[in-house]
Amino acid sequence: MRRYDTSLQLIPESNPHMWDGVQKAGMIAFSIGLLGLVVSTLGGGPVYAGIGLGLTILGALVYIVQTRKDGPPGIKNHYIMFSSALSRGYLGWMAAIFMTGFYIILYFHPQHLKSLVVLVNPLQVWLSGSSAWNDKGEMSQWFLYGFLYTVTILVMGVRALIKYRHSRYQILRTLSVMFFQLAFAFTIPNVLAKLNDGLYFEWANIWPLRYYELFPYSVEDLLRNGALGKFMLFWSIASILVITPILTYFFGKRWYCSWVCGCGGLAETLGDGFRQNSDKSLRAWRVERWLIHSVLVLIVLTTGLMWLNHIYGGSVLGSLSGKFSIAYGFFIHSIFAGVIGTGFYPIMGSRVWCRFGCPMAAVLGLLQRYFSRFRITTNGGQCISCGNCSTYCEMGIDVRWYAQRGENIVRASCVGCGMCSAVCPRGVLNLENGPVRNRTGIPV
């Protein structure tokens, strides 16, 4: 007998997670590639790093295309909750340990990445004009990180493009995060650094996400670098004070969190398969509000203290404000955003950092909640309470609760990913920016 799930998709008789030959070949190549990368971090040399990186990318692409090209597009509900990798089973935990381990090595033991740095160094020299090693022989791992980050978003972006090929919104959104990562976060900053004597500036990372961008030493550095440096400073200030409020008023926080930001880009591509693991409880919502606003207060305070100390020549706080900045960088930027924020995707869902920690998301959320036209409208009469929308909301919003009551959803945390709407079998949910109208259609 044919059986259909709540999205009216045919439930296959056999488990769809059984792999065919091509999928197996892709997964074997991917696994050997990962092994090569692990060996390279244990001193295996650039050959292992090269083979590892190549096979990981190739294997992932083969597996993704073969898995996604046939069958209906969109999220397939069946068996997700039985999948060890996608539902916090042992494979999910292994993935979390692997990803967390990578971030710990990246931040605290970068010497283990030397083989990979050697591998990408020619690209770094060509693109940015500088080597990963400075005059003192010290190695920087950050170009490598940018490279791996970009490649991951591009490869997993292909997966998202195939998976959501039925949705114009999802296709445009995915292309947008791929473009902004490749152009604005990776290529343009490096090329500009090459043309301007090492002046590096991330155009798409806005303060307070890029927490040190408005610290006194960063501002002075920009002011020392001629007209371009001054323009970069102007861009930093205009981004947070002018561009952010205007775009958020018209489009909600989605213009940044789901279309531009690199953290959001990684969450929507690499983290997409784990979105159902976000905690939907009221307790999590309470923790989220306390935590994210505390981080915002902390970075505003840190920036203020840095300036106070700077203006009074260090006489107010001595070296204390500097320690504040170092502590913020360590606990919030490295541990929270990096190790936990990305490493815990398979356990806590794909937007751990965006939901609980990102101060930029906090600013955008406040604007969205109190000063924006963006909302998700609900046609409550059509809702069959299947719960797909709540299940796949990566921000842990209980979308169904609103849909059942026919209420508009205006939540500070909503990143406007549109997945609740894409996965709803009844077309109940619509992301809207237009003027709010009353029941007779008159704008209010």
Residues engaged in binding ligand SF4 (CB under 6 A): 376, 383-389, 393-395, 397, 399-400, 403, 409, 414-420, 424-426, 428-429
Q: Which residue has the tokens 């995915």?
A: 174
Least distance to ligand SF4, CB of residue 260, Å: 16
Q: Which is nearer to ligand SF4, 253 or 333 (CB)?
A: 253
Q: Which is nearer to ligand SF4, 319 or 385 (CB)?
A: 385
Q: Which is nearer to ligand SF4, 185 or 419 (CB)?
A: 419
Q: Tell me the two tokens of residue 32.
A: 């050997």
Sign of CA dihedral 294, 95, 272, 213: positive
Residue 220, helix vs strand vs coil: helix
Q: Cα(355)–Cα(349) distance, rounded to whole angstroms?
A: 10
Least distance to ligand SF4, CB of residue 296, Å: 19
Within 10 angstroms of residue 60's Cβ, the number of other Cβ atoms is 22
Least distance to ligand SF4, CB of residue 348, Å: 15
Q: Which is nearer to ligand SF4, 233 or 423 (CB)?
A: 423
Q: What angle do CA 360, 292, 171 make, to 5 degrees?
A: 50
Q: Which is nearer to ligand SF4, 128 or 248 (CB)?
A: 248
Residue 3 bridge partners (DSSP): 11
Listed residue (143, 170, 144) closest to 157, CA to CA: 170
Least distance to ligand SF4, CB of residue 424, Å: 3
Q: By the 8 A CB rule, do 332 and 211 touch?
A: yes
Least distance to ligand SF4, CB of residue 157, Å: 18
Task: Indicate the DSSP class of residue 11.
Answer: E
Q: Which is nearer to ligand SF4, 62 or 270 (CB)?
A: 270
Residue 310 bridge partners (DSSP): none
Least distance to ligand SF4, CB of residue 384, Å: 5
- Widest Cα–Cα separation across the chain: 80
Q: By the 8 A CB rule, do 45 and 115 touch?
A: yes
